[in-house]
Amino acid sequence: MKMTLIKSGLTALMMTAFLAGCSSNPADDQQGSTDIEDTSLQTGQVDDSGINDGSVDGMGMSNVFYFDYDKALLKPESRAALLEHAEALRSSPRNIRLEGHGDERGTREYNIALGERRANAVKEFLVLQGVSAGLIEVISYGEERAAAYGSNEEAWSLNRRVELK
Amino acid sequence: MRYKIVALLMLMVFSSSSYSELVIRVTQGNDKPTKIAIAPISQGVAKTSEDISRIVEADLQRSGLFETIERRDMLAFPTRAKDVYYRDWRLLGAEYLVAGQMQMLPDGRYQVEFSLLNVTGQKTVFTHRVSGSLSQMRDLSHLISDKVYEEITGIRGAFSTRLAYITSVRKNGKYSYRLNVSDADGAREKLILESSQPIMSPAWSNSGQELAYVSFETGRPAIFRQNLVTAARQQLTNFTGINGAPSWSPDDRKLALVLSKDGNPEIYLLEIESKKFTRLTRHFAIDTEPTWMPDSKHLLFTSDRGGTPQIYKLNIASNATERITFAGNYNARPSLAPDGRTLAMVHRTTDTFHIASFDLQTGRMIELTETRLDESPTVAPNGAMLMYATKQGDRGVLAAVSLDAGVRYVLPASAGDVREPAWSPFLR
């Protein structure tokens, strides 16, 4: 029984070749051999040199809007600031980017979805105020780009945000 | 079951310069481990700083199922079965003994011939030879561990597998994100991709040759695949909104993934060769984190369509969905064990996020971890352990726990925030 197990293990050894093409020749039930061939992992290259993380262009207005835990509802102070933004964007239209973020609690892909929900809440508000939807791009970073470090309520509340850029 | 603290067992893993970050600590072990002695394998013919016997000892200890005999207590260092005096090992309480020696082959490679001996039964269980180059001493060691573990436990060893994971470092206000691959013990970390923009959600192809992941390198999230041996990369998606959570189908021909181009996150299927996308979910809620069931006909995914995030099962052909989890107000990121029945997930009770296992047949949920912000469970291909991300202080680290919660250890990294482990399939 155990020898069968070894044999099947050896058969499986032969089936995959990743770093290694392996071959195996059990001489008998008590003996076997496994050979590892040489290959190595390679590093890929990205071209992210054209990416500008963008500074928050305030024009005197608040550009960061905070949210409650697990919520995508705009707070009164955010609405007030967004009314100013909407007016500015109506009078002099420009392309803007709304970046949604979440705190570290919960899973990463789910937080990407929550960040998008928040950024969409801001977008919908601006569109209702007459800003052209075509000018607005929504990107969610979830919990991948924290504004504040630390596993505490203070850091978390600073990270649940949408940045208008 | 009762568990005891086996101590903060610091295993110094001797290694090449690329590996200096990870130290293994077994914090909790099985209370009836098998006692085994790994006699120092004579390896004088190879100029290497890797100590094969130490690597095998560390592997076996990390599984929680073995307790190794201290080298300094050994009365002799036999390298062949015929040189073994069983009573020396019985005195030490060893149930098993591994003895071996290395020789150089005519082609310049190295071969270790090793035997597993049953001390109680006074007999050789098997003798096996493994061979490789000077740079593969760790591979040889893990193969020895696999053979020994498999013979004694009846479970296939997963010491020769790898981990993919993400690290991030912030320096002078600038982020650096890295996708790395290391051995399953954290050694031999290799940089696979580095970017100033986030990298997320690494997923192994079932061939073990490729990773799919999310990269923001274009300024927006996109799904890429990358061959680990050739470094060839291909961008697979470029849609407005979320492009996330890739998961390879069992035959590696499709990816389940998430797109929000329709307004909110939905599960899609991508046929990689034909680049054909098929939408699988239609719901205004968040649908994300798909993972394949072994039958290739169903996906498990996270959705908050019921008000809180829960795990759902989706029939790919009919698009019918069925809610799977009901206990707790947050169940997400399903990761299925190879038995197709044990489902690991992130599970919240009150305000803490743990890793829990859920039996798809009985519906029983068991919390496996005790720390606070645990996420990204990934089950080893032999189903014995799972790796997850947690916090030590404010820093992300990787930790492992056995699926019966009896064994835990942490792989702390000295630099940066480590997260999103993905355990490779069997590689050889």
Q: Does one domain contain both A22 and A75?
A: no
**Alpha-carbon dihedral B258, B259, B265, B267, rounded to 10 degrees:** -40
Question: B346-394, pLDDT tens digit by residue?
Answer: 999 878 899 999 999 999 999 999 888 999 999 999 999 999 999 988 8
Q: Does one domain contain both A72 and A149?
A: yes
CA angle B233, B237, B241 (to 5 degrees): 135
pLDDT at B416: 83
Question: CA of B334, closest CA in chain A: separation in Å?
Answer: 10
Question: B72-121, pLDDT tens digit by residue?
Answer: 999 999 999 999 999 999 999 999 999 999 999 999 999 999 999 999 99
Of B43-57, B265-279, B307-321, give the lowest mean pLDDT range: B43-57
pLDDT at B335: 97
pLDDT-based confidence at A150, cuts 50/70/90? confident
**A21-35, A73-87, B11-25 — most confident range:** A73-87
Whether the predicted model's global pTM rises above the 0.90 cut: no
Query: Are B426 and A12 a contacting pair at CB < 8 A?
Result: yes
Query: Are A105 and B373 a contacting pair at CB < 8 A?
Result: yes
Q: Does one domain contain both A101 and A158?
A: yes
Residue B17 has pLDDT above 60, yes or no: no
Q: Would you give the distance in Å from CA B330 to the centre of its chain?
A: 24
How do the residues of chain A divide into helix, strand and coil, expressed in percent and rounded to 5?
Answer: 35, 20, 45
Residues of chain A with Cβ-Cβ distance to B193 below 8 Å are 43-44, 46
Question: CA of A115, closest CA in chain B: separation in Å?
Answer: 10
In a domain, A51, yes or no: no
Q: Does one domain contain both A133 and A68?
A: yes
pLDDT-based confidence at B257, cuts 50/70/90? very high
Q: Does one domain contain both A73 and A21?
A: no
**Half-sphere exposure of B45 toward its Cβ, with a 13 Å CA cutoff?**
14
In a domain, A49, yes or no: no
Question: B284-324, pLDDT tens digit by residue?
Answer: 999 999 999 999 999 999 999 999 999 999 999 999 999 99
Sketch out chain B's domains with CATH numbers.
Answer: 33-153 (3.40.50.10070), 162-423 (2.120.10.30)
* Contact yes or no for A82/A65 (Cβ under 8 A): yes
In a domain, A31, yes or no: yes
CA angle A133, A139, A141 (to 5 degrees): 155
Q: Does one domain contain both A77 and A23?
A: no
The stretch B145-149 carries a mean pLDDT of 98
Q: Does one domain contain both A71 and A19?
A: no
pLDDT-based confidence at A18, cuts 50/70/90? very low
Domain count of chain A?
2
Residue A37 has pLDDT above 90, yes or no: no
pLDDT-based confidence at A52, cuts 50/70/90? low
Residues of chain A with Cβ-Cβ distance to B394 below 8 Å are 149-151
| Closest of B125, B108, B130, B94 to residue B45, by C-alpha | B108
Q: Does one domain contain both A15 and A74?
A: no
Q: Which two tokens stand for residue A35?
A: 């050979």
ipTM over 0.85: yes
Query: Are B375 and A108 a contacting pair at CB < 8 A?
Result: yes
In a domain, A52, yes or no: no
Q: Does one domain contain both A77 and A158?
A: yes
Give the C-alpha separation, B119 to B88, whole Å: 9
Domain of A159 in residue numbering reads as 64-164
In a domain, A72, yes or no: yes
Q: Does one domain contain both A6 and A71?
A: no
Q: Does one domain contain both A150 and A84?
A: yes
Residue B253 has pLDDT above 50, yes or no: yes
Query: Are A38 and B175 a contacting pair at CB < 8 A?
Result: no
Residues of chain A with Cβ-Cβ distance to B419 below 8 Å are 108
Q: Return the percentage of chain A with pLDDT > 90, whole number.
A: 58
In a domain, A53, yes or no: no
Q: Does one domain contain both A69 and A135?
A: yes
Q: Please tell me which residue, A57 or B420, carries the higher pLDDT value.
A: B420
Q: Which two tokens stand for residue B371?
A: 């720390």
Residue of B143, B208, B332 with shortest CB distance to A34:
B143
In a domain, A138, yes or no: yes
Supply the CATH number for residue A94's domain.
3.30.1330.60
pLDDT at B372: 84
In a domain, A68, yes or no: yes
Residues of chain A with Cβ-Cβ distance to B126 below 8 Å are 6, 30-32
